[in-house]
Chain A
C-alpha cells in the first residue's frame, strides 16, 4: 500500500506544483527520489508531529495542498489537538497519511499499534477518514484525497498487502462510496482497510459451506456510504463488519448507527479488536489469530451464527 501511495503521490506532485509532502522523520530511503525530484516541496520537519501539522496548516492556508506522513499513531494521536484546531477548524486541504496502521507494527508493541485512530479522527468535524483495503485502493484514495477541499486521514498499511482489485486499478473509485466486490445474499461482509483481503478469504470459505455472502469494501468510514449500508441491510439478514481497530467508534459503530437510525433490524456481527491493549509481543498475524480476525475464525463464527 505504501508503494501505491508513493507512486500516486509522485504523479500528483509532478502534475501539480502546489502539492507538498512533509514527513516527521519517517521513511528512511523511501523518499530519496522525492527529495531529488521535488526539492523544497519535500520537507522532513524532524521528530515533531505537532509542528508538522502546524506547518502543513500554514502552507495550506497559503494556497498549498499538503500531505503529512509518518507512523500512524504519531501523526494522529500525538498531535490530535493540532489536527483539530489547525486543520479541521479552518477546514484546510491537508491529508494525514498514517503508515503502519492497526497492528502492522505488531511486535513493536502497543506504542506502535493504532487501534483507536479511526474513532477519534472520525469525531472531528470536517475530517474525512479513508482506510484503503489494498494497494489499488491506496493509490485511488491518494488521488481522491488530493481533490478534497478539507482535511483527510489516509490510513494505510505498510507493504506486502494482497491485491484484491485488478491491476488495472479503480477508475471509478470515489471517497465516500463503498465498493461491492461480490453480490450475495443472507449475509454481507463489510470490511475496511487491511481486513479486505481477509473478507474475501472468509467469503471463499463460506462459499464452500453453501453460504454466499455479499462483500463490500467500505474504504471510507467517514462520511459513511449510508445508502449502500441501508441497501445491504435491507437485502441481507446479517451484516458483519471487519476492521483492524476497536469496535467502539470504528466501522462497527458507524454501520450499527446507520442501521439503527434507519429503523432497520438487521442483525450485526462485529469482527474487531477488543477494548484492551496487547499484553505481549506478537506479529500482526499472531495478534489477529488471538483476536479471532483470521478468515477461518470469521467464517466459523458466522456459520455458528455469531
Chain B
C-alpha cells in the first residue's frame, strides 16, 4: 500500500486545545471512576467516589473557557450550538466538533449535579435534597448516563483529530480509543494523588485504584500500539519521531510507573505520589505529541 499523501494546511490548534484535551479527559475519566466506585466499589470506596465527582466538575470548568479562547471569534462560541444563519440548532452528528459541543454541554449538567451531590455528602447540607435524589436507582441511572457522556468527552477529541485530512491524525482512526484509555489512566492517577493527600480515604481504596491504574495502562498501551501500526501503514509515523521521541519517553514512563513502582523494591522508597504524577504527565505528553507533531 503506497503511503498516504497529505497536502492539508495545519489548523494551528495549540495550547488552548492541549489544555482542553487534558482537562476534558481528566473530567470525563474522573466521572467514570466515580461511577464505578459508587456502583461496584466497597462502602469504604465511597469517599473516593465523592472526590472523583468533585474532581470531575472542577476539571471541567476550564474546558469551555479554553475552547472559547481558542476561537478566532470567541463571542461567537454560541454558534457551536445555534445556527446563526437559520436560527435553528447547529447539530451535525457527522461533525465530531458539533457533536462534542453538545456532549460537553450535556456532560456539564451531569457533572455539575453529581458535584453538588458529592459536596452535600461531604457536609454541605444546603444541597442535601440533591444528594438524596442521587441515591438509589435514579442516582445510579444518572451516574451511568453521565458516564456515557463523560466517556464521549474523553474520546471524541481523538475522533475529532482523526476526522480530518491531517497527517498522523487522519491516518490513525484509533485515536478516540487511545484518548479515552489515557483519560482513564489520568483520572485514576489524579484520584490517587488526591487520595494520598487525605487521611479519610481508605487504604484499601488506594490499592484498588492502583490495580485499576494498571488495568487501564495495559489497555492504553495496546491501543497506542494499534494507533502506531495504523500510522506506520499510512507512512506518516516519521512525523512523530525526532524531537517528539522525548515526549514518547514521558508517555511510556508514566504508563510503566504503576507497574515498576509496585514491583521493584528499590522503587518503593520513592514518594508515593511519583507514579500518579508521572501518570498525569504521560496523559499531557501523549496529547501534546499527537497535537503538535502532526502540525509541525
* A, B assembled together: no
